[in-house]
Amino acid sequence: MSADTHDSAKAYRDYLMGFIFSVILTVIPFYFVMTGAISDTNTVIAIVVVMGAIQVLVHVYYFLHVTVSAEDGWQAMSLLFSAILLVIILAGSIWVISHLHENMMPAHEQIERVRNLP
């Protein structure tokens, strides 16, 4: 087997493993959300967030091929930057979603006042 064939087979295997991991990391939270297997909402949210974070790291490693040892550590800096962005995006998304109900829905008293208008 030539070096090109070996590299091609390894790349194909890496992409296939990344795809399989991505599907698994998508199906697990989907199952918990759609079936209601866990009744505690906070636990389900935690599962979705953790699986999403792991999936981002799987994509960075398997599809973008970012590793700590490659290119004298410059890719490690990219990996650290990706992790920081991941935390910012996930924390911001959780913050926005958790406050949507409070900030968008009118209070019960406001609804009653509108109903009682002449």
Q: Domain-by-domain residue ranges, the chain? A: 3-115
In this structure, what DSSP letter does residue 45 have? H
Q: Which residue, 60, 61, 51, 65, is CA-closest to 23?
A: 51
- State the Cα–Cα distance between residues 51 and 17, nearest whole angstrom: 16
Provide the pLDDT for residue 4: 62
Averaged pLDDT for residues 24-40: 95
In the predicted structure, residue 18 carries a pLDDT above the cut 80: yes
Provide the pLDDT for residue 101: 67
In the predicted structure, residue 1 carries a pLDDT above the cut 60: no
Least confident among 5-9, 33-37, 69-73: 69-73
Which of the two residues, 116 and 44, has the higher pLDDT score? 44
Predicted TM-score (pTM) of the model is 0.64
Band (51; pLDDT cuts 50, 70, 90): very high
- State the Cα–Cα distance between residues 33 and 102, nearest whole angstrom: 22
For 71: left if phi > 0, alpha if psi spans -120 to 50, otherwise beta; the answer is left
Specify burial of residue 25 (Cβ count, 10 A radius: 0-12, 13-18, 19+): buried
For residue 57, the tally of other CB atoms under 10 A from its CB is 17
- State the Cα–Cα distance between residues 6 and 92, nearest whole angstrom: 43
